[in-house]
Homo-oligomer: A and B are copies of this chain.
Amino acid sequence: MATIEKDFLELLKEMDSYREVIALAHWDMRTKIPKNGVEQRSEVVGFLAHKLHKLETSEEMKNYIDQLKGKTTNSIIQKSVEECEETYNKSSKIPSDEFKEYVMLQSKSEAIWQEAREKADFALFQPYLEQLVEYNKKFANYWGYEDNIYDALLHNFEPGVTTKMLDEVFSKLRVSLTSLVEKVNQSKSKPDPTILKGHFAKEKQEAFSVEVLKQIGYDFNSGRLDDTIHPFEITLNGNDVRITTRYDEEDFRMAIFGIIHEGGHALYEQNISIELARTPLATGTSMGIHESQSLFWENLISRSRPFWEHYYDLFKSYAPETFQHVALDDFYRSINEVKPSFIRIEADELTYALHIMIRYELEKGLINGDIAVKDLPDLWNKLMVEYLGIEPPTDREGVLQDIHWSGGDFGYFPSYALGYMYAAQIHHTLAAEMNVEQLVASGNFAPILEWLTKNIHQYGKMKKPLEIIEDVTKEPLNPDYLVNYLTKKYTAIYQ
């Protein structure tokens, strides 16, 4: 290997070292840190993030990009250079004064948003959101785009996905989902979610979840499970992929499905090829593909009937008093209850994507200049009625519910819905190759994880999200698979 390639890999290692300790510091701050330690720790993390940012945007980095891009025969180095170039350009195209102002605006806006949400007072947040939108429009122009300015923002979270594509798939999806939701609403045979409530000791929930995690293939020698307030998966390195959860002793759903969801993210990160270690390629390729893995395990596996055919007896043994008289079929229907609701993060599998489409339409309009910030609350409520048939009582349960915009994250939301579509499309291909239902019903998850590893996980960022989808499923993104999956599942549940 040429000296310059070795030196470049050394620089990547330095950057990766900063990344790992920043990740460790974040994990610690969200799981273990004593209250009073936070203040200084925040300064420390700020310092380390700054050091990393300086390396990412250094002259040295620029030189490596210029000298290696398209000139190396090593594909890992080539892809790493491309990743580094993305990061370099993203920062270097924004004048540094503007970037500083923007960082200050972000942190102020987040605080104001929190206050506005508490008070359900959109007017408080409005001037900040207006500025955030303006900055993002400017940045999008710096970064460039071919067709729609919003594409430049989408690119940060789901490279390759365009506004045009989303308009197309979302409009199809919306028609199908709203009609399905309507059918469900009109059904006379509704599951009873109250049968799921009842005492389930935290330790027992954890023990059951750990059992499941091990069986689906999560390696506790390369990870751990801790308590937190807002659950997450975090990768310290490929052999240290941690997940967290929160327990409600009166409703097991939060922890158990949450753990399987984070476990799905973790399986992705644990199974990336070791060859990519210590490069920027050693992580999931996009927000959407990541979400497809968590949703695959959470929804398509652990909310499926075969899964509970296998696990229901074990599950009941951990909380016999609460579930001994609940029949498997009632249990299965109840964990899949559909009910239009105001809050995205509480939404069920069927309505979730509709929540996303509302945000997509609005942020696309904001960035394109078709929508004014001041009109957001009314438009939000209008779309809620149109898509979900319900109207939020206040902006707290409406336009103010999500943190994303207050941090300037425009273009992020679509990834969630893409995750649903990717997951269903991937599952369809998998099911053509093996009898997934039978494997799940017998608790034999290894062939499934092997297939996901071979087709998706191992590549890390070596392949772009749409490349993964096309290589695996032999066709472009197609929302029909999600619609077919949901139609079949929910038609059966709501007969």
A53 CB to nearest chain B CB (Å): 14
A41 contact set on B, CB distance < 8 A: 20, 236-237, 240
A17 contact set on B, CB distance < 8 A: 43-44, 47-48
A232 CB to nearest chain B CB (Å): 16
A238 contact set on B, CB distance < 8 A: 40
Complex Cα–Cα for A391 and B303 (A): 67
Complex Cα–Cα for A13 and B46 (A): 12
Would B21 and A239 count as touching, CB distance under 8 A?
A: no
Would A239 and B28 count as touching, CB distance under 8 A?
A: no
Would A40 and B223 count as touching, CB distance under 8 A?
A: no
Would B25 and A240 count as touching, CB distance under 8 A?
A: no
A114 CB to nearest chain B CB (Å): 23
A488 within 8 A of B: no
A interface residues, how many (CB within 8 angstroms): 35
A32 contact set on B, CB distance < 8 A: 32, 224
Complex Cα–Cα for A20 and B29 (A): 13
Complex Cα–Cα for A44 and B23 (A): 12
Complex Cα–Cα for A236 and B41 (A): 9
Would B277 and A36 count as touching, CB distance under 8 A?
A: no
A36 contact set on B, CB distance < 8 A: 219, 221-222, 239-240
Would A35 and B224 count as touching, CB distance under 8 A?
A: no
A34 within 8 A of B: yes
Residue on B with the closest CB to A37?
B240
Complex Cα–Cα for A13 and B37 (A): 16
Q: Which residues 51-71 in A have Cβ within 8 Å of B in the complex?
A: none
Complex Cα–Cα for A44 and B52 (A): 14
Listed in ascending order, the chain A residues whose CB lies under 8 Å from chain B are 13-14, 16-17, 20-21, 24-25, 28, 32-37, 39-41, 43-44, 47-48, 219-224, 236-240, 277-278
With A17-B48, A34-B220, A34-B223 known, 5 other A-B pairs at CB within 8 A are: A13-B43, A17-B43, A37-B239, A40-B237, A40-B277
